[in-house]
Amino acid sequence: MVRVDEAHWVKIGAELSDGVTLLSSVLTDGVSDWATGVFPGDPEAFWIRATVAKGVNDGNGFCFISHTGEVCPSGFLPLPAGNVREKSVVEIYRTAPLFRSLRDPEALKGRCGVCEFRELCGGSRARAYATTGDYLAEDPSCVFQPEAS
């Protein structure tokens, strides 16, 4: 399925197996942004979630599967949590420590860890990893100063 909605998201979906759908969406309004998710169940629920105002979703509703089968939180956060040739993508997404820590706002460090918007935003885990080597570190490009810091 490929669709474009009023928010200019190109939506692409492919059935993987057992009702699990691999979904991708690309924002086409001139902003370089995209999202890919593995969603067991109704694909429409994914599109609703993908268009709700939410911060960076690396590993939180989204994942990236490389051409070699490595499952990463996103294409910009190249930390493999497993391989689809050895485990199902659903099992990797649900149980891998990397993905579980990315879905835990309490695990965030620095300003992101004390930010009152950490559950809504979460900061960029890819930028944190690229600059510090720690994907749970604070987002270095965020200019917001949390009240608790």
| Rounded alpha-carbon distances, angstroms, from residue 115 to 31, 41, 56, 77, 121 | 26, 32, 14, 22, 9
In this predicted structure, what is the pLDDT of residue 136?
97
In this predicted structure, what is the pLDDT of residue 102?
93
In this predicted structure, what is the pLDDT of residue 21?
44
Torsion of CA 28, 38, 71, 29, to 10 degrees: 10
CA distance 144 to 55: 14
Other beta carbons within 10 angstroms of residue 4's beta carbon come to: 12
| Average confidence (pLDDT) over 38-67 | 62
**Structure-token match 């935003």, residue found:** 121
Q: Is the pLDDT of residue 67 over 80?
A: yes
Other beta carbons within 10 angstroms of residue 109's beta carbon come to: 15
Coil, helix or strand for 32?
Answer: coil
